[in-house]
């Protein structure tokens, strides 16, 4: 989509929904979740979250994330069933109610990152034994791992914590057989993701998965999958050369908007944040659309004939 067209629609965003006919509403950082009796409706808004708050609204973001997830759910359903029932609107899905397993499955194909809990930071600080795998000395930042690894964390509203498979079983979070199945499926889905991404000129670096159990106790892939908000992507064609020079890979960058806020305010403590510059919002939209088109191989299409809220209200009214 042309950047000038995007600029004309910076106010055409879905910030919040309040549907009364879909069940109890729970607002997440990006999605509005409606819990019905036998199903859940997930509405992806255009909210852009950072610093534990909404910092901007990014046009078409909700649609992009929903459609990327649907692409990946479709392309991995031969590996594991997922929770998708229907897609009544470009920015919404109706899903099965599942008993959520309170473990986030983080899969890493490369040693990278800059946060305190990233694999590279821990490795750089001397850690080698990660509970269910051990890394050798002499590795470099952004190096490909011999095999993808699992670094699970607990799921908590307060603070996620790293946890080993032994601890997961010992603490009674799940039996060993279920852990083994979940680990196997997570690695298989990641392998498929890497293969498909590479065919599109991208490296799927790392990601996170969430699982649940359906009414029959069958393991089910839930939430989202391989979106640019839950996964790290690098450009494949320049990776080897940049790695050999000790340079960071080319990647899908959302950080520039976050950095702007850090430079212009105290985003953690200021009660009111400045408005994000329109040119940065438009550029972030362009990047979301670019990665959608790269991953799916489809041109991004948006219905400009009606306001988003009108469209989504009409579409969701049909699911009852």
| Domain segments of the chain as ranges | 3-98+255-317, 99-244
Mean pLDDT of 142-171: 91
Confidence band for 158, pLDDT divided at 50, 70 and 90: low
Fold that domain 3-98+255-317 belongs to in CATH: Phosphorylase Kinase; domain 1 (3.30.200)
Flag whether pLDDT at 300 surpasses 80.
yes
Averaged pLDDT for residues 150-165: 85
Mean pLDDT of the region 307-311 = 96
How much is the pLDDT for 291?
96
Q: What percent of the chain has pLDDT over 70?
A: 99
Residue 173: predicted pLDDT: 95
| Least confident stretch, 70-84, 154-168, 182-196, 224-238 | 154-168
- The CATH architecture assigned to 99-244 reads 2-Layer Sandwich (3.30)
pLDDT at residue 320, rounded to an integer: 62
Give the CA distances from residue 319 to residues 27, 273, 309, 315, in Å, rounded to whole numbers and listed in that order. Answer: 20, 38, 16, 7
Average pLDDT over residues 129-147: 96
Average pLDDT over residues 140-169: 91
Main-chain dihedrals φ then ψ at residue 296, nearest 5 degrees: -85, -20
How would residue 197 be classed by pLDDT, with cut points 50, 70 and 90? Answer: very high
Output the pLDDT for position 115. 84
Look at residue 117 in the predicted model and tell me its pLDDT: 83
Q: Please state the rounded mean pLDDT for residues 188-215.
A: 98
Q: How confident is the model at residue 319 (pLDDT cuts 50, 70, 90)?
A: confident
DSSP tag of 37: S
Structure tokens belonging to residue 215: 């009414």
Query: Would you place residue 177 in the very low, low, confident or very high pLDDT band (cuts 50, 70, 90)?
Result: very high
Contact yes or no for 6/57 (Cβ under 8 A) = no
124 — pLDDT class (breaks 50, 70, 90): very high
φ/ψ (deg, to 5) at 295:
-70, -50
Which tokens belong to 123?
């490795």
H helices then E strands: how many in the chain?
A: 9, 14
| Average pLDDT of the residues in 239-258 | 95
Q: Grade residue 161 by pLDDT with cuts at 50, 70 and 90.
A: confident
- Confidence (pLDDT) at 156: 73
The mean predicted confidence, pLDDT, of the chain is: 95
The answer on pLDDT for 116 being more than 70 is yes
Q: What is the mean pLDDT of residues 140-157?
A: 93
Task: Report the DSSP beta bridge partners of residue 204.
Answer: 233
pLDDT of 160 higher than 90: no
Give yes or no for residue 309 having a pLDDT over 90.
Answer: yes
CB 18 within 8 A of CB 25: yes
Alpha-carbon span 80 to 221, nearest angstrom: 7
pLDDT at 263: 96
């Amino acid at each position: 989509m042309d950047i000038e067209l995007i600029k004309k629609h910076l106010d055409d965003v879905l910030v919040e929904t309040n549907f009364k006919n879909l069940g109890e509403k729970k607002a997440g950082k990006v999605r509005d979740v409606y819990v019905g009796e036998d199903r859940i409706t997930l509405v992806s808004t255009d909210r852009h979250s950072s610093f534990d708050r909404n910092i901007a609204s990014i046009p078409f973001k909700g649609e992009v994330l929903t459609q990327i997830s649907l692409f990946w759910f479709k392309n991995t359903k031969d590996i594991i069933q997922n929770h998708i029932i229907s897609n009544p609107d470009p920015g919404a899905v109706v899903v099965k109610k599942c008993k959520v397993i309170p473990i986030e499955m983080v899969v890493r194909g490369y040693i990278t990152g800059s946060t305190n809990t990233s694999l590279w930071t821990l490795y750089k600080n001397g850690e080698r034994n990660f509970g269910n795998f051990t890394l050798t000395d002499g590795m470099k930042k952004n190096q490909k791992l011999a095999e993808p690894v699992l670094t699970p964390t607990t799921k908590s509203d307060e603070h996620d914590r790293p946890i080993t498979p032994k601890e997961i079983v010992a603490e009674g979070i799940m039996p060993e057989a279920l852990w083994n199945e979940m680990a196997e499926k997570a690695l298989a889905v990641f392998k498929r993701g890497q293969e498909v991404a590479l065919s599109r000129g991208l490296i799927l670096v790392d990601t996170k998965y969430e699982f649940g159990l359906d009414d029959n106790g069958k393991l089910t892939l839930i939430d989202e999958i391989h979106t640019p908000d839950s996964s790290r992507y690098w450009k494949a064609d320049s990776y080897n050369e940049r790695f050999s020079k000790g340079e960071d890979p080319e990647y899908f960058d959302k950080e520039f908007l976050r950095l702007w806020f850090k430079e212009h305010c105290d985003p953690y403590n200021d009660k009111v944040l400045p408005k994000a510059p329109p040119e940065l919002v438009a550029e972030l939209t362009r990047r979301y659309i670019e990665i959608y088109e790269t991953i799916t191989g489809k041109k991004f299409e948006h219905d400009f004939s009606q306001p988003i809220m009108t469209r989504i209200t009409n579409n969701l009214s049909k699911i009852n």
